[in-house]
Structure 1
C-alpha cells in the first residue's frame, strides 16, 4: 500500500533527529551488516596511527541514518533520489544531529528538493540532497 506524499513548501524546516551517542557496538554491527572491516572502524591504535583521535564510523553509516530519517519523514516510496557528501568523521561518543530544509518546490512535477545535513556540535559530518514527491499545497 502506497502512502500519500506530504505537503512541503519552499524554505520549510523539515525538523530534526538526534542519534547517539555512537558506540563501538553500533559501528561493529554496521561493519557486520555491510562487510566493512577496515581497522579504522574497530582498532583504536590503528586509527590513532592513521592520524585520527580513535575509531571512527563508516561514512555509509551516517548516510544510512540520514536516508532513513528522510524516508521516515516523507515515506520511502516518495524518495526519488538521494545523494551525500562526506565532510568529517564521526567518532565513538558523538551524537549525530540530523536536520534539513526544503530548498525548492517544483509544482509542475510535484517534487521538492531537500537540503540535508548531519552535524556533531555544529561540525558538518555529512551533507546531502534528496528529491521527493510531494502533495500539492491546499
Structure 2
C-alpha cells in the first residue's frame, strides 16, 4: 500500500499547473528503456552505431519516452487515478548528459465522466523532446476511490 494520495476530481481545475519533474538522461536510462521495451535498434545502445547514423550518441526510444510521460502524469494524479489515453509527439532527441524537464497543466475537465485531460511537454537543452496529452479518470472526493 502506498501513502501517496489520489487527486480528487473535485480539486482539479482547467489551467492548474502540474509540478515540474526533471529526469536526468543517462546511457543507463536510454539503454535500459530500450532493452525493457525489446527495442534492439543499435542507435539506442551502441554509440558507434548511433554515430554511423549521424547521431552524436545513443538516443532515447519512443517507448521509454511514453513511459516517462505516463509516470509524470500518474505521479501527479496518484495511485487511484485510472489512466485512459496518452497521445504524444516526439521532437528533439534525448541524449546522455542532458536532462528532460516535464511540465504540464490541466487542459480540460468533464464532470460527467470525471475525466481530466493534461497537456504535457518534456523539454531538454535542444527544445521539446515530447509534447502531448494524457486523459485520466479521477475519483470525486477523498473517500471515493471509484
TM-score range, shorter chain: 0.7 to 0.9
C-alpha distance after superposition, 1:43-70 (max 9, x if no partner): 2222122121221111211211110121
After TM superposition, list the pairs within 5 Å mapping 1:29-68 onto structure 2.
29-68=32-71
C-alpha distance after superposition, 1:25-84 (max 9, x if no partner): 222222222211111012222212212122111121121111012112113542222221
* TM-score normalised by the chain length of structure 1: 0.85
- In structure 2, how many angstroms separate the alpha carbons of the residues matched to 1:126 and 1:36? 19
After TM superposition, list the pairs within 5 Å mapping 1:84-123 onto structure 2.
84-121=88-125, 123=127
- What is the deviation of 1:134? 3.4
- Name stretches of at least 5 consecutive residues in structure 1 with no aligned partner: none
Cα 1:31–1:136 change in 2 (3 A) is closer
- Name stretches of at least 5 consecutive residues in structure 2 with no aligned partner: 142-146
**Aligned-pair RMSD on alpha carbons?**
2.1
- In structure 2, how many angstroms separate the alpha carbons of the residues matched to 1:32 and 1:39? 11
Task: Please say which of residues 67-76 and 88-97 is displaced more in the overlay.
Answer: 67-76
Q: Structure 1 residue 26 and structure 2 residue 29: aligned?
A: yes
Instruction: Number of aligned residue pairs: give it.
Output: 135
